[in-house]
Amino acid sequence: MTRTPIPFSRPRPGEQPPYLYEPYASTIKRAPRRTPVPVQQTLSEVTGPSFPAGWVGAPTTDLTRPGKGEALGQRIIVAGRLLDEDGKPISGSLVEVWQCNAAGRYLHDGDVHDAPIDPNFTGYGRALTDGQGEYRFLTIKPGAYPWRNTHNAWRPAHIHFSLFGNAFATRLITQMYFPGDPLLATDPIFNSVSDEAARRGLICDYDAGLSEAEYALGYRFDIVLRGRASTPMGQ
């Protein structure tokens, strides 16, 4: 007997960024010019992937010590839960992060920002969520950096997240921001999400209980995949 897949709930208007948001200049060139064609969800979209036997490689949850030396900058702990649209934890799912260093520079040939490269910081980590959907990384707070969207534009400090969830249709790439950052008010990527509550969902919360005394500040960032109250996708 073939079971008809239950479709995911659709987010309300404004909870996800539009394909075209003119203040974010690059969307003008890459946004589709025709109405997207809806694709019916089948078992291929609402099931998988799985990550058994550690084939994605060993977890790299400490970004501060990729080698012999220690990365420069303010140590932070970033932790949270991966949830489905009903608030249930998603266990055994791959969470990947990448970010610039404390000076605002990525370890990438395409980054020409005149800021120092930290030889002890790659800016990449990965982990599998535990039975309660929890993940945890120790890293360095990223710096702001300039970009050429407009004259004198700077990106607020952020960490990129890549998440798979428990179905291919829940695949999500997003960005996590920090509370109190003055650059959020003028950042077009952050502000492309018009719903205020959804936009706030991109900002982590300071968590004193997660912090480690005299060592690292703690920030909590829970992520909801697909459907109601889903975390906005990063552009």
Report d(CA 52, CA 89) in Å as an integer. Answer: 18
CB atoms within 10 A of CB 160: 17
Whether 72 and 121 have beta carbons less than 8 Å apart is answered as yes
Nearest CA-CA partner of 188 in 219, 133, 147: 147
**Burial environment of residue 114 by CB neighbours within 10 A (0 to 12, 13 to 18, 19 or more):** exposed
Contact 25, 150 (CB under 8 A): yes
Distance CA 156, CA 12 (A): 26
Which of 72, 52, 82, 103 shows the shortest CA–CA distance to 172? 82
Q: Rounded CA gap, 41 and 53, in Å?
A: 28
The structure tokens listed for 195 are 């719903």
Do 32 and 39 form a contact (C-beta atoms < 8 A)? Answer: no
pLDDT at 11 (0 to 100): 81
Q: Which residues are catalytic?
A: 106, 145, 155, 158, 160
Cα 36 to the center of its chain, rounded Å: 25
5 CB neighbour count, 10 Å cutoff: 16
Q: pLDDT by residue for the chain (235 residues), tens digit each?
A: 555 666 677 788 888 999 899 999 999 999 999 988 887 778 777 777 777 656 677 789 999 998 789 999 999 999 999 998 888 999 988 999 999 999 999 999 899 899 999 999 999 999 999 999 999 999 999 999 999 999 999 999 999 999 987 777 778 899 999 999 999 999 999 999 999 999 999 999 999 999 999 999 999 999 998 777 889 987 6
Instruction: List the beta bridge partners of residue 155.
Output: 145
Q: Are 162 and 173 in contact (CB under 8 A)?
A: yes
Asked if residues 196 and 151 have their Cβ atoms less than 8 Å apart, the reply is no
62 Cβ contact partners less than 8 Å away, ≥ 6 residues apart: 125, 137, 138
The answer to whether the CB of 164 falls within 8 A of the CB of 96 is no
Positive or negative, the CA dihedral 203, 206, 207, 210 is positive
